[in-house]
Amino acid sequence: MENSSDSFNKIILTGANGQLGTDIRLICEAKNDERFIFTDIAELDITNHESVRKFFSLHNPDLVVNCAAYTAVDKAEEEVEKAFLLNSEAPKILATEAKKTGAKLIHVSTDYVFNGKNYIPYNEETQTSPNSAYGKSKLEGEKNALETGISMVIRTSWLYSPHGNNFMKTIIKKGKELPQLNVVFDQIGTPTLAKDLATAIIEIINQGKGSFQNEVFHFSNEGVCSWYDFAKEIVQQLAINCKINAILSNEYPTAAVRPPYSVLDKTKVKKAYGIEIPHWRESLCSCIKEINL
């Protein structure tokens, strides 16, 4: 870690009860890292500008990490206002108030800002073009954060962990209940273990204020797969007796259009911060070991 004047010494984290927030907290507890103030809706309503202003004034952070988000992708098609309030307006409030206290903001975003029509991995310069209300709300949130000039945006994809609701936990639960499951094979991306993203964010923080870049970065695990491949690997690693069938997206209609291809290029974050990124299959294996402890 850097010397104290260049370090982030007081950090407010939002969305502390979510997958990513939980993993950051667990890592900090294991390392006795007491720099973080962990908040969720009970402690801080990030959609209420006055509440955020008072909270920041009281705690005077030098960094804010926004892990809070509206993530119900299909529901967002109906609850557009709710999605934009949390995914777009809240980052604007956080960035505005962070700037006033001289703090920086790390804002977590998504691969859904792309339409998925590429056939090569998306880098940070690729044109955004979201298909869904969720993707549009997240893209607007990125822009609102970046406009202040004090924000780093980290886009990730297919997040899962032992905590909360996610694809891996759904497959485990349904796989134990049903003899077979249908899973789409024409949506390609990379599963990302929340613990790996949490570790990367802490590494970026630990490199200090001098290394902080007000730009967009991509982070997911290494490797590429379809949701079908991911599901197959989950049941195989857990020896669950459930047949996984490959189906097309049009056989499993959803309210929101998913990007058919959303592989993220991680070259920039690896070069800028020297971060080592595990392959998705290795990370899944370590996650499943943790679940089985």
Q: Where are the alpha helices (DSSP H) in 178-239?
A: 194-206, 227-237
Q: Are 211 and 106 in contact (CB under 8 A)?
A: no
Nearest to 264 by CA among 215, 218, 199: 218
Q: Classify strands 225-226 and 188-189 as parallel, antiparallel or unpaired.
A: antiparallel
Write down the catalytic residue from 70, 112, 122, 134.
134
Treating both helix axes as pointing N-terminal to C-terminal, what angle do 19-30 and 194-206 enclose, rounded to 10 degrees?
60
Among 163, 194, 198, residue whose Cα is nearest residue 284: 194
Q: At which residue do the structure tokens 């020896």 appear?
A: 239
Q: Residue 222 has what DSSP assignment?
A: B
Terminal CA-CA length for the chain:
32
Please name the helix (run of DSSP H) or strand (run of DSSP E) that holds residue 159, with its range, or none. strand 159-160
Half-sphere exposure (Cβ direction) of 183: Cα atoms closer than 13 Å: 24
- Reference 225, options 163, 282, 146, 178; nearest CA is 282
Helical spans, DSSP H, in 60-193 = 80-84, 90-100, 133-146, 167-177
The H-or-E segment that residue 280 falls in is helix 280-292
Decide: helix, strand or coil at residue 52.
helix
Catalytic residue status for 134: yes
Catalytically active residues are 134
